[in-house]
Chains A and B, each alone.
Chain A
Amino acid sequence: KNQVEQSPQSLIILEGKNCTLQCNYTVSPFSNLRWYKQDTGRGPVSLTIMTFSENTKSNGRYTATLDADTKQSSLHITASQLSDSASYICVVRGNYGGSQGNLIFGKGTKLSVKP
């Protein structure tokens, strides 16, 4: 069964600190992996999209890594800010031939950045 698992479920860090969020998936065949940021009561906003051949991708203070062999990804946040408080969702797209393939969402990691 295609699944996306994220850890930890929740995380509290102090402003200015770094953190790393984890994502493991069993989606196969694999097309791409996305990290989204979702503020409470809002829609997800894309941070990165990574394909099979990409190992690392950065977007400002966010750096995502992908190991397609072990089916693991991480999202590293550097020098956290209060505005980073949100849920971070790992989403994997399967590659089903000519089909678009559904996006399979993880449950997310709820990050709280405290002053």
Chain B
Amino acid sequence: EPEVTQTPSHQVTQMGQEVILRCVPISNHLYFYWYRQILGQKVEFLVSFYNNEISEKSEIFDDQFSVERPDGSNFTLKIRSTKLEDSAMYFCASSPDRGRIHHEQYFGPGTRLTVT
């Protein structure tokens, strides 16, 4: 069964450094998402992406964040200058079609980002 994959599984970086989290959504899916989950807290929506542009973003998704789909398979989240509070689990998700608002989102296993 197709799965969303994410790399790396764990990323440790120093404050102020740039990080890129990578995701390979399920092929033929059209919508892509990033979420984050700070340890012990609930999952929070960051951004959705469709047709090579951001369709929605939350207040968390400020100028330090950017997303890109550089080729036909990868979907990346870049944090330009990491802060301690960016430490969290980052989940990528994808969903298959546009017309139905009840479409399922399939989540990847997550990347644990630790900022020191």
Contact = CB atoms under 8 A, between A and B. Distances in A.
Q: Do A and B bind each other?
A: yes
A2 B39 CA distance: 22
Nearest to B110: A43
B101 A103 contact: no
B75 interface: no
Interface residues of A, number: 24
A32 interface: yes
Interface string A78-115: 00000000000101010100011111111110000000
Nearest to A91: B43
Chain B binding surface, main DSSP class: strand
A46 to B, nearest CB: 6
Nearest to B43: A105
22 contacts: A32-B101, A32-B102, A41-B112, A42-B109, A42-B110, A43-B4, A43-B93, A43-B107, A44-B107, A46-B105, A46-B106, A49-B104, A89-B43, A102-B58, A103-B45, A103-B105, A105-B42, A105-B43, A105-B44, A107-B41, A107-B42, A108-B42
Interface of A: 31-32, 41-46, 49, 51, 89, 91, 93, 95, 99-108
